[in-house]
Structures are given as C-alpha cells and as structure tokens.
Amino acid sequence: MSDVSKVVGDILVSTARGRHSMLDLIKCFIPQKNVESVILNLIFHFKIICEEEGLRVVGEKCIVFDGTKSPPGATFVLCLDESHISLHCYADEGLCSIDCFTCSKSPQAHINALRRIEDLMADQFPEGELYKRHTVARFLTPFHQSSPSQG
C-alpha cells in the first residue's frame, strides 16, 4: 500500500482528492405497488445523511419504473456540490446498487455517510445483504498513487 493511502476498517482512506464507493446489495425486494413510496423514503433519508455529514445536495432526480418498458424498479441521483450519490434498483429481483462519489477535502464525511447509508439499507431491508463494497481513490495526480482497490 502506498504512503498516501491506508485502510481504516475496510474503507480506503487516501490523500487523493476524491473517494468513490460502490455498494451492491441483494435480497432488497420491493413490491411493485410500494416502489415509489420506498424510493421516496430512501431519498428523504439519504438527504438527511448528506446534510448531517456536510455533503451539500444541490440537485436531485428520481425515476420510478413501472415495469412496462423497463424492469420494475427505480433510479435516483443526489447531485452534491462535490459530486453525487445514486441508487439503482431492480425491485422484483431484490438488486440494489449505490454509488457514492465525493471529492470533499474531508474524507471522514464520505466514510460517515457511507456507513450511515449501509445502516439505513439494513434497517429498510432486514432480509437484505451487503454483497460487495468497493472503494477507490479518485482525482489522483502523479504524486498520488492508487493503492489496490478494496472489495
């Protein structure tokens, strides 16, 4: 591992400008009739997490798919002043993917938000499982060497 990166717990911390974490969850089934309300609830809680961790939301977009043209599920993105957090799900397959990319000078904000999002998902989907977590350093310069990715 390079001298500019270390692992705290199982999350990569780096002096690089950005962090990009991806979570893949399974067994997060949402009945078709509840997709919109579940997703709106998740957005509400993601926004609270962002606010409390100092990640300023500057925009948002949510699309719920009813299964007629695309598989049932949803996608949303919260645009942050320093990147984004997004969620994509296949409701009937129980698949959910979360992407958290921040380029804040405070790596702790990213780490805290990601842990709280994991906790939220565990609360919202008691049968769900975190299948994979992958975090990499981003906005590297020639002076910042990426360490092996986690996950």
Cα 124 to Cα 105: distance, rounded to the nearest angstrom: 30
Q: Where are the beta strands (DSSP E) in the chain?
A: 5-8, 11-14, 18-26, 57-65, 73-80, 83-90, 95-102, 129-138
**From its phi and psi, is residue 9 left (phi > 0), alpha (psi between -120 and 50) or beta?**
left
pLDDT one-digit tens code per residue, 40-49? 999 999 999 9
What confidence tens digit (pLDDT) does each residue in 119-135 have? 999 999 999 999 999 99
pLDDT digits (tens, 9 = 90+) for 60-119: 999 999 989 999 999 999 999 989 999 999 999 999 999 999 987 678 899 999 999 999
pLDDT for residue 17: 80
